[in-house]
Structure 1
Amino acid sequence: MRHFTTSDGACIAYRDEGGGTPLVLLHGLLAHGGFFRAQAPLSADHRLITIDLRGHGESQIPGAAPSVERLAADVTELVEALDLDGAIGVGWSLGATVLWHVLAGPAGKRFAGAVIVDMTARVLNGGDWALGLSPEACAARSAAIRADFEGFALNAGQAIFAQPVAERMRETADWAGAEFARNDAEAMAAVWESLVAQDARSLLGRLALPILVVHGGQSQLYGDDTAAHLVAALGDARAVRFDRAGHAPHLEEPEAFNRLLSDFAARLSRARTVPTTNPN
Structure 2
Amino acid sequence: MIEPLSQETFITRKQTVLLSNGIRLAYVELGDAKGVPVLLLHGFTDSARSWSLIAPHLAADFRLIAPDLRGHGQSDKPEGCYTIPEMAHDIRLLIRELELAPVHVVGHSLGGRLTQAIAERWPQVVRKIVLMSTSAVPRERKGWLWGNILALRDPIDPEGAFVREWCSTSLPVDENFLAHVRRESAAVPARVWHSIHYEQLAYDPAPLLQDISAPALILRGEEDEIATAEHQDQLKGGIIGSRFISLPGRGHNMHWEAAETLARLFDAFLKES
TM-score with structure 2 setting the length: 0.85
Aligned to 2:95: 79
Aligned to 2:211: 206
Q: CA deviation at 1:103?
A: 1.4
Rounded Cα–Cα distance in structure 2 between residues aligned with 1:202 and 1:216: 24
1:142 to 145, 149, 154: 149
1:113-155 C-alpha deviation (Å, 9 max, x unpaired)? 1000111101335xxxxxxxx6344541432334884333233
1:20-40 C-alpha deviation (Å, 9 max, x unpaired)? 121110001110011100122
Aligned to 2:18: 5
Aligned to 2:166: 156
Q: CA deviation at 1:170?
A: 4.5
**2:235 maps to 1:219:** no
Rounded Cα–Cα distance in structure 2 between residues aligned with 1:15 and 1:62: 21
Rounded Cα–Cα distance in structure 2 between residues aligned with 1:221 and 1:148: 25
Residue segments in structure 1 that go unaligned for 5+ positions in a row = 126-133, 272-280
Residue segments in structure 2 that go unaligned for 5+ positions in a row = 1-13
Rounded Cα–Cα distance in structure 2 between residues aligned with 1:23 and 1:179: 23
1:138 and 1:196, CA in 2 relative to 1: closer, same or farther beyond 3 A?
A: farther
User: SS of 2:82's equivalent?
Assistant: coil
Aligned to 2:112: 96
Structure of greater Rg: 1
User: SS of 1:66's equivalent?
Assistant: coil
1:37 and 1:200, CA in 2 relative to 1: closer, same or farther beyond 3 A?
A: same
Runs of 4+ in 1 over 6 A off after TM superposition: none
1:63 and 1:142, CA in 2 relative to 1: closer, same or farther beyond 3 A?
A: closer
TM-score with structure 1 setting the length: 0.83
Rounded Cα–Cα distance in structure 2 between residues aligned with 1:54 and 1:190: 12
Alignment of 1:1-280 (within 5 A): 1-19=14-32, 20-41=35-56, 42-106=58-122, 108-124=123-139, 135-137=142-144, 139-146=146-153, 149-150=156-157, 151=160, 152-158=162-168, 161-162=169-170, 166=172, 168-267=173-272, 271=273
Rounded Cα–Cα distance in structure 1 between residues aligned with 2:257 and 2:119: 27
Aligned AA (1:250): H
The answer on whether the counterparts of 2:44 and 2:109 sit within 8 Å (CA) in structure 1 is yes
The answer on whether the counterparts of 2:131 and 2:217 sit within 8 Å (CA) in structure 1 is yes
Aligned to 2:6: none
1:256-275 C-alpha deviation (Å, 9 max, x unpaired)? 100011111110xxx2xxxx
Alignment identity in percent?
A: 25
Rounded Cα–Cα distance in structure 1 between residues aligned with 2:98 and 2:253: 28
Q: Greater CA deviation, 41-50 or 116-125? A: 116-125
Rounded Cα–Cα distance in structure 2 between residues aligned with 1:201 and 1:72: 16
Number of positions where the alignment pairs a residue of Structure 1 with one of Structure 2: 254
Cα root mean square deviation, aligned: 2.0
Judging by fraction of residues, say which structure has more helix.
1
